[in-house]
Structure 1
Amino acid sequence: MAEAERVIGTPDSSETGAVEPEQAAAAERPKGRRRLVVLLAVAALAYALDLVSKLIVVAKLEHQDSIRVLGDWLQLEVIRNPGAAWGMGEAFTIVFTVIAAAVIVVIVRLAKKLYSTPWAIALGLLLGGALGNLTDRIFRAPGVFEGAVVDFIAPKHYPVFNLADSAIVCGGILIVLLSFRGIDPDGTVHKD
């Protein structure tokens, strides 16, 4: 009789292997390692590429004529942008600084629950890009938390941007795609 109850799964049998709520929650958590190393590696790469590119561009191209890369379609042109895209919000540099710092805090807190490699890549891109632009806002003229971001990639009919902006946009697009596919940062997949 006990064997039949175990196979059928009668809930009141002590031999059914009834699962406590804590065990059920632990069983639902994804198995495997957190993807913190992936997040940090992607963030470090994005940050380093942005920082090095800005150092080179400021040293070699600032106060020079723009350089045509693909005719009129793509040029390298150094500008200092205190605002957001298209130079909007120039008077709100401190707000953009606070937003970048908040994004970094949210990503660091979310990293504790991170088991998905695609999410680690997306958040790493966001973190590296946010750190790149935050570094400019903290350390560049005209002053601390009011610094202008160095932008230098100038496509035709589009605002000038930098590698940090590219990382942020790519990370954001990846997050949207992962959300549409129902993949959560903890590695679970849900269907709505």
Structure 2
Amino acid sequence: MRDRAQLVLAAAAIVAVALAPVVFAYLQLGYSDDVTASNDYDAPVENAEGVLSRGVQDTARDVPAEYRWDNRDAAISAVRSDLESDLETLRSSRVESGTVYQVEYNRSATEEWAQATCPSGPNRQFGDCVAERGVVVQNRGGETHVLGVAFDVRVTTERGWYEVTIPVRTTA
């Protein structure tokens, strides 16, 4: 009887030693510090670009039907007003987890973009381009079309900070 108990004890020890690597591997499945997670917040600049791009595209779609060229200042104000909710969403999106977004309009980037990109000369297809308050608009058949908006974005995370200028060109 004593030999049988020792045999059972030896078999249990062998099974425990054999299962140890399986248990260790199972416990490692939840460990992710050495693996880059695949959510948007691990790429804060790309997250900001996505939010700003969607906001500008959605806002720009509604402007031509509502604003004539002689009322372009009101169109620019409307664009900025419509974008404010997207900017606030971005600014407050990850504060509780330590990511802070600061977003401002970049007026000089839109002025440079308008000078370099907007067509000029006698054979141009559309009218004048104007860059005001960080928004580029163009006269197209007497209507105001939004061509782009530029933002300065500063992102502060627990891993560091980023400062970028994000120009968003519309598909209009």
Report the TM-score, using the length of structure 2 for normalisation. Answer: 0.31
Structure with more strand by fraction: 2
